[in-house]
Amino acid sequence: MVIDHIPVSALIRDEIQSALERRSLPHAVLFAGQDGGAQLPLALFAAKSLLCNKPIEGLACGVCSACMKVDKSIHPDLSLSFPVPASRETAENAIEEWREMMDSRSFLGLADWYEKLEAGDLKMNISAKEIHRIEKNIRYKSFEGVGKVLLIWLPEFLGGEGNKLLKSIEEPPPGTHIFLVTNEVNKILPTIISRCRVIRIPRPGPSALSSWLTGVKGFRETEAVNAVAVSEGNVNVALRQLEGENQLQIDRDFITWSRIAFSGDPAGVLDFIDEFLKAGDRESARNLFRFGLFYFNQVLLKKINVQQEGLRDELSASAGKMASFLSVSAIEQICESFEKYLVQIDRNASVKVLLTYATVQLGRDLRVALKRSRENARA
Ligand SMILES: [Zn+2]
């Protein structure tokens, strides 16, 4: 992956790019993002640039043997460390699975990792034994003579053992960089954080993610918008949606759902819910609410005349109609309800009950807003 193909803001890209160009990247960097963000691809790109045989203005050339080896996670000067279940003891015993994962998914999420290792509800960690292994590794001389990188994915799994790494983080052996790539910076020991340059990497916003999915990954725009709407900026979730089978219906399902809700016809509502839940499960309902939140945010933008991006024609027309009679406060109220449903869906035993309630409530909100808007027009 070249740096322009990583979905991060230009600001972050420039910061890393110019540090690499000037060869001034600090020796200990904490790449801090959220699950499904671009922190891992970015850290790997930085590692590749440092180990590349023929860097171009400090950046990985992408084609030399060193770059290839980093891409395949087989470069002898790149030590990789990550959490594993106790039975594996060290990351070395799961490196094959890691390589397979990285082949297919460079935005690796913790859930994917659990699934890959078939870890179920086992506890994972980065153990004292693993720390001993990586400490030993970074003391070896560089094989290829260019430098060395230790990349620790999810250092939040170090727990208290992290203190054993402080000395190395503070003063790595010459020519060695230590990259920590976290999804939960608040779980990392403050003693570690204070010894690193922290680069915060927020998830890409809707329009950045949408243009990445179409421009870099080549998905069609309508598909990309659906994926963006349900992913909340989680690149991994967006990609999984696009690779799945029936996910791309969500915009149509949503339009149908909101029409039925608006009609208020009880039999129609129940029929829709039965049909909808037949095809899916809790995740489908979650996607419906996520899409709803995205959609009403677009309605809000339309209402306040902000240029909106990514809605295809049918949806854009529908959002325009909604904006014509919904007040700003009514839209905000609907968005708040959707946020509440998204919290409740993980707690609520019955998806059907929640979805029924949400349908009735949405219908009522829409009809009340329409009535008010007509009264205001007459007044
Ligand atoms: Zn190279």
Instruction: Kindly state whether residues 171 and 281 are assigned to the same domain.
Output: no
How far is the centre of ligand 1, averaged over its atoms, from the C-alpha of 274 (Å)? 55
Instruction: Kindly state whether residues 290 and 341 are assigned to the same domain.
Output: yes
How far is the centre of ligand 1, averaged over its atoms, from the C-alpha of 127 (Å)? 33
CATH number of the structural domain spanning residue 172: 3.40.50.300
Give the Cα separation of 373 and 365 in Å (integer). Answer: 12
Strands 148-153 and 78-81: parallel
How far is the centre of ligand 1, averaged over its atoms, from the C-alpha of 130 (Å)? 29
Residue 94 in domain: yes
Instruction: Kindly state whether residues 166 and 264 are assigned to the same domain.
Output: no
Give the Cα separation of 172 and 328 in Å (integer). Answer: 55
How far is the centre of ligand 1, averaged over its atoms, from the C-alpha of 43 (Å)? 15
pLDDT of residue 309: 59
Instruction: Kindly state whether residues 168 and 101 are assigned to the same domain.
Output: yes
How far is the centre of ligand 1, averaged over its atoms, from the C-alpha of 2 (Å)? 11
How far is the centre of ligand 1, averaged over its atoms, from the C-alpha of 56 (Å)? 8
CATH number of the structural domain spanning residue 333: 1.20.272
Instruction: Kindly state whether residues 8 and 120 are assigned to the same domain.
Output: yes
Site of tokens 């003063």: 171
How far is the centre of ligand 1, averaged over its atoms, from the C-alpha of 50 (Å)? 9
How far is the centre of ligand 1, averaged over its atoms, from the C-alpha of 46 (Å)? 11
How far is the centre of ligand 1, averaged over its atoms, from the C-alpha of 59 (Å)? 8
Task: Check: CB of residue 151 under 8 Å from CB of residue 124.
Answer: no
How far is the centre of ligand 1, averaged over its atoms, from the C-alpha of 81 (Å)? 22
Quick one: which of 105, 98, 107, 102 has its CA closest to 38?
A: 107
Instruction: Kindly state whether residues 273 and 337 are assigned to the same domain.
Output: yes
Instruction: Kindly state whether residues 346 and 293 are assigned to the same domain.
Output: yes
How far is the centre of ligand 1, averaged over its atoms, from the C-alpha of 66 (Å)? 6
Q: What domain range is 152 assigned to?
A: 3-203
How far is the centre of ligand 1, averaged over its atoms, from the C-alpha of 51 (Å)? 7
Instruction: Kindly state whether residues 194 and 252 are assigned to the same domain.
Output: no
How far is the centre of ligand 1, averaged over its atoms, from the C-alpha of 65 (Å)? 7
How far is the centre of ligand 1, averaged over its atoms, from the C-alpha of 57 (Å)? 11
Tens digits of pLDDT across the chain (379 residues) = 678 889 998 899 999 999 999 999 999 999 999 999 999 999 999 999 999 999 999 999 999 999 999 999 999 999 999 999 999 999 999 999 999 998 877 788 888 899 899 988 899 999 999 999 999 999 999 999 899 999 999 999 998 888 899 999 999 999 999 999 999 999 999 999 999 999 999 999 888 898 899 989 888 887 888 888 888 889 988 888 787 655 557 888 898 999 999 998 989 999 999 888 876 678 888 889 988 998 998 899 888 877 665 566 777 888 889 999 999 999 999 999 999 999 898 787 788 999 999 999 999 999 999 999 999 888 7
Give the Cα separation of 89 and 125 in Å (integer). Answer: 9
Instruction: Kindly state whether residues 276 and 171 are assigned to the same domain.
Output: no
How far is the centre of ligand 1, averaged over its atoms, from the C-alpha of 10 (Å)? 23
83 phi/psi in degrees, rounded to 5? -70, 145
Site of tokens 């980065």: 126
pLDDT of residue 311: 64
108 phi/psi in degrees, rounded to 5? -25, 125
Instruction: Kindly state whether residues 25 and 162 are assigned to the same domain.
Output: yes
pLDDT of residue 248: 59
How far is the centre of ligand 1, averaged over its atoms, from the C-alpha of 304 (Å)? 48
Domain edge (last residue) among 171, 203, 235: 203
